[in-house]
């Protein structure tokens, strides 16, 4: 299994980290040197630019999470990195919880799963 986060869309909500039963994700500060330490392709790496549509949707939502914060504080904020993709068991819990709809999973027969927030 390969897992990555499309980082320009990541709100930092930490839902993926909270729900994953096998610790695929770690939350990193956006300035962390290992912020791109998963298999994301070049256009999905964090380069300091948020996706405007995602920012517009989530920046004013008050749900107790730090959205678009530079640092990971109090359980949310920062950015998610899929540091442990090969451990994914495709339970799909993260795929329905991801605010930024930015998790991409490829299984061993090359089926690709994208997150859709519900
Ligand atoms: S689908 Fe994979 S990465 Fe997502 S929560 Fe389940 S085990 Fe974790
Ligand atoms: S659930 Fe999605 S938007 Fe939230 S921290 Fe994880 S990857 Fe980022």
* Segment 6-59, tens digit of pLDDT: 999 999 999 999 999 999 999 999 999 999 999 999 999 999 999 999 999 999
Q: Which residues share a beta bridge with 73?
A: 76
Copy the structure tokens of residue 15: 């839902």
**Three-state DSSP class for residue 16:** helix
Which numbered ligand comes closest to the C-alpha of 10?
A: 2
Distance 77 CA to ligand 1 centre (A): 20
Q: Under 8 Å CB-to-CB from 19, ≥6 apart: which residues?
A: 93, 94, 97
Distance 109 CA to ligand 2 centre (A): 25
Q: Which residues line ligand 2 (CB under 6 A)?
A: 5, 10-16, 80, 97-100, 102-103
Question: What are φ and ψ of residue 75, in 5° steps?
Answer: 95, -15
Task: Supply the residue whose CA is at minimum distance from atom 4 of ligand 1.
Answer: 94
* pLDDT tens by residue, 70-82: 999 988 999 999 9
């Amino acid at each position: 299994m390969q897992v990555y986060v499309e980082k320009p869309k990541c709100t930092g909500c930490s839902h993926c980290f909270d729900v994953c039963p096998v610790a695929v994700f770690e939350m990193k500060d956006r300035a962390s040197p290992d912020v791109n330490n998963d298999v994301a392709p070049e256009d999905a790496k964090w380069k300091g630019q948020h996706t405007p549509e995602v920012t517009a949707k989530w920046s004013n939502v008050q749900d107790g999470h730090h959205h678009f914060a530079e640092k990971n504080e109090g359980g949310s904020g920062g950015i998610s990195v899929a540091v442990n993709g090969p451990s994914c068991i495709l339970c799909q819990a993260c795929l329905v919880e991801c605010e930024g709809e930015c998790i991409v999973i490829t299984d061993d027969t090359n089926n690709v799963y994208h997150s859709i927030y519900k």
